[in-house]
Amino acid sequence: MAEPPALHQNFFARSVHRVAPDLIGAMLLFNGVGGRIVEVEAYHHTEPAAHSFGGETPRNAVMFGPPGYAYVYRSYGIHWCLNFVCEREGSASAVLIRALEPIEGLASMRRRRGLMSERLLCSGPGRLCQALGVTVAHNGLALDRTPFALIARDRKPEIAVGVRIGITKAAELPWRYGLKGSRFLSKPFR
């Protein structure tokens, strides 16, 4: 019985614009809890919406390190958001994980999020981190080791492309990618 192929650091050592769509359909588990990635966004330090645009700070330091690591930051003072660092050291590019289709550990997710419909468990970057238990304590962890597990998709799904959500700078760039037709997206694609 063959193990499903795991995503290793070389998967992330490519253009963020190739990694982002390739993550759609992959399985993300955190301490055994998670599901299929259905929505992501790409960020690169050459455009002003990225946290790394203004240079390195203590908060974004992980983005400036090697690919294949988790960058976790606090959003609006309340939520945590999970990113995967891409490309090469110093490139300061990352993919924001925006939504999952919940598959493993539904009971744990519901315990952390409160009773709610499956559709709303992981349909947003803050919701997903709350459901999986990801916090800044996990900032800088490698993605190919526990508690993370990333498993490649078996076939390429149909990908929807659109503009990123919730930003005002570089808002016109079509760097949001999603699983076409998924009901677990944080917002539908136009």
Strands (E), the chain: 27-30, 33-43, 70-75, 79-86, 93-104, 148-151, 159-162, 176-179
Is position 175 an interface residue for DNA (rule: CB under 7 A)? no
Near DNA by CB under 7 A: residue from 59, 88, 110, 112: 59
Cβ atoms of 7 and 150 within 8 Å: the answer is yes
Query: Facing residues of 25 across strands?
Result: none
Closest distance between DNA and the C-beta of residue 24, in Å? 16
Near DNA by CB under 7 A: residue from 26, 151, 167, 173: 167
Q: Which is nearer to DNA, 4 or 55 (CB)?
A: 55
Q: Cα dihedral angle (54, 56, 142, 96), rounded to 10 degrees? A: -10
Closest distance between DNA and the C-beta of residue 27, in Å? 20
| Tokens linked to 58 | 């203590």
Interacting stretch for DNA, rule CB under 7 A, among 10-18, 28-36, 146-154, 166-174? 166-174
Footprint (CB under 7 A) of DNA, residues 71-90: 71, 73-79, 81, 83
Q: List b or e across 24-34, with b for residues whose CB sees 16 or more CB atoms inside 10 angstroms.
A: bbbbbbbeebb
The three-class DSSP label of residue 40 is strand
Is position 164 an interface residue for DNA (rule: CB under 7 A)? yes
Footprint (CB under 7 A) of DNA, residues 124-143: 124-128
Query: Facing residues of 33 across strands?
Result: 30
Is position 9 an interface residue for DNA (rule: CB under 7 A)? no
| Tokens linked to 188 | 């539908």
Is position 54 an interface residue for DNA (rule: CB under 7 A)? yes
Binding residues vs DNA (CB under 7 A): 41, 43, 49-52, 54-55, 57-60, 63, 71, 73-79, 81, 83, 94, 96, 113, 116, 120, 124-128, 164-169, 186
